[in-house]
Structure 1
Amino acid sequence: MSFPTRVATETRAAAKAFLRRRTAVFFTFFFPAILILIFGALVQTQPTGGGLFTEPPAYYIPGYLAVVVLFTPLSRVGSEVARHRAGNRFEKLATTPLRRWEWLLGQTLVNVGIIGSAGLLILLLTVLVTGAGLPLTVETLLLVPYIAVGVTLFCGVGAILGRVADSQDGVVAASNGIALPLLFLSDTFVPPALLPEWFPFWLSPLTYFARGVRQIVMPAGLDTASVADPLTSLLVLTALAAAFFLVGALALPRTD
């Protein structure tokens, strides 16, 4: 069995397993949509006011996208690793030609497809509900690799959590404990001006995702001198994704 066949087989199996969990499918799309409706339609942004949500609507697109790019891979891949460990499936996989990194690649490809679809829905809802303008340029196509690379990064982190946590409940608790602080402390919903100057945004990989996406969706509304261009942020994010994917693949157990 060749490498493409092994990965394609695992990808199909992972996709069917996800689609069978209707609750997971529903909340993957529902949760970010309800956030947009709450903050975009009910709370709304107030550029002339104070406190949170004082930036233009397009400023928060990276935050809405980050919800699915961050939460979904962490919980899905982490839980899948925990389920495989509990059912001794890695021990069975060790007797097949499928390598650990190929298994993780198959899981990642499924997440890229799912989250890519959710990301498209988020962009459409944001434009329709908040009135945010989305530039239709060649550079806008960079959103596709940004989402794919971001998902790959957090799939790697999810694999690590699934290996370290002792159960599926432990994975859920750990993923929420990591994702919630990152979501609000990575230049997504909370502008840097509202946090101390010394705060180390650069330590969060989600920061590079948020700033790069923001450069794409509102290039005319940012101080480009203080923020790296989208390609530079994408390169940093890609390097981090490769590192976390490798560590995640190595963390997967050979036997249980």
Structure 2
Amino acid sequence: MHRGKGMKFVGDSRVAAPSHRKRMIPKDYSEYPGKTEAFWPNFLLKEWLVGAVFLIGFLCLTVAHPSPLERIADPTDTGYIPLPDWYFLFLYQLLKYSYASGPYSIIGIIAIPGLAFGGLLLAPFIDRGPERRPMKRPFATGFMLLALASVIYLTWEAAAHEDWKKVHDQGKIVAQVEIDKNSEGYKIFSKQTCITCHGDKLQGGAAAPSLIDTGKSPAEIEKIAQHGMGKMPPNQFKGSPDELKKLAEFIAGLKSK
């Protein structure tokens, strides 16, 4: 370097020039209002908001109306009629029809529901048109309306022809007592047809009430056994007067703690 000549700079090509990365900016869809939008974050955020509203609403419903509990399952109770939850009532009703039950139960259990749900699953792949208006997508709209109408009709039919009071009563938690099955009164009870309707623990069922805490005297129970009451026909007891008296005293003494 010579005085008065200035300074010279030498660049090194090994030093990379600073680069500015492009920010991930969603595409501008303002030219197509209502047609489409960016999946992230616009569309996904809307989906999350809708899902959060339904989740919070469902949680509030479960807190305000707890799920009802029924008594412990008893496989010996032949009078109990199991029912599915309301959202499966349409399948329950379907199995009541001639060609979907009995020897044709495979049709009602697998064939018809399989075709229906399979059709709904394949509908988006069959009708792949770009239109979003229901009137311009006849196949998808028609199939969805048919499925919705079928579910609503079958659910309504199942609900309208069911004795809901009986369903509620058969699952109700009832008081139970420790029953001495070696006592003479219980042996008489088990030999009679009473056990078929009232159960081996006298807890009752869909066809008959519980015999615990009846609040009736032995004389009143004897009268019911002889003359019947409600749906119970008369002359159901087949035994001697002495056995009837012991049975009536046994039932009158059944009281929960």
TM-score of the pair, normalised by structure 1:
0.20
User: Which of structures 1 and 2 has the larger relative contact order (alpha carbons within 8 angstroms, sep 6+)?
Assistant: 1
TM-score of the pair, normalised by structure 2:
0.20
Between Structure 1 and Structure 2, which shows a larger proportion of helix residues? Answer: 1
